[in-house]
């Protein structure tokens, strides 16, 4: 992962305040948007922009390098079920999962990362120890 640039001048805290213009990475290009809301997710925070796009925190230019993802053990069963219900509702509404800047894609990637991290923690017994 390449180092992230310093926060924009005048920005003293993270996350940026509502109404702040953000730059974020999409593939090899930079895009911009105005921050509407920051929401905690199953693994990272998502930045909701005024135009409806959703950007994961780690894609925002100026995101602190020391940013850590949420431990999957801190996600309650009710929070996980709520997340799953929301994804089902969006799927039933016919939202296109190919739109990578939509809330459905944000929820899908959060859930996938959460599931991966949850099962990654499971340790197997080495064959020699059995």
Task: Confirm if 110 and 42 have CB atoms less than 8 A apart.
Answer: yes
In a domain, 8, yes or no: no
The stretch 55-76 carries a mean pLDDT of: 93
Per the model's pLDDT, the better-predicted residue between 70 and 6 turns out to be 70
Residue 50 lies in a domain: yes
For 41, list phi and psi in degrees, rounded to 5.
Answer: -110, -170
Summarised one tens digit per residue, pLDDT across range 91-113 is 999 998 888 888 999 999 999 99
**Phi and psi torsions of 5, nearest 5°:** -70, 165
Cα 35 from Cα 83, distance rounded (Å): 22
Q: The pTM is what?
A: 0.79
* Full domain range(s) for residue 39: 21-122
Q: State how far the Cα of 87 lies from the Cα of 65, in Å rounded to an integer.
A: 30
Whether the predicted pLDDT of 48 surpasses 80: yes
Residue 128 maps to a domain: no
């Amino acid at each position: 992962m390449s180092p992230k640039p310093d926060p924009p001048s005048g920005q003293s805290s993270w996350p940026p305040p509502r109404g702040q213009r953000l730059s974020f990475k999409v593939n090899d290009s930079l895009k911009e948007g105005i921050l509407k809301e920051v929401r905690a997710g199953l693994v990272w925070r998502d930045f909701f922009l005024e135009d409806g796009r959703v950007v994961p925190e780690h894609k925002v230019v100026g995101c602190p390098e020391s940013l850590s993802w949420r431990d999957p053990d801190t996600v309650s069963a009710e929070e996980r079920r709520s997340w799953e219900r929301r994804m089902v509702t969006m799927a039933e509404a016919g939202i296109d999962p190919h739109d990578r800047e939509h809330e459905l894609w944000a929820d899908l990637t959060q859930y996938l990362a959460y599931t991966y991290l949850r099962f990654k923690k499971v340790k197997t017994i080495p064959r020699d120890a059995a």
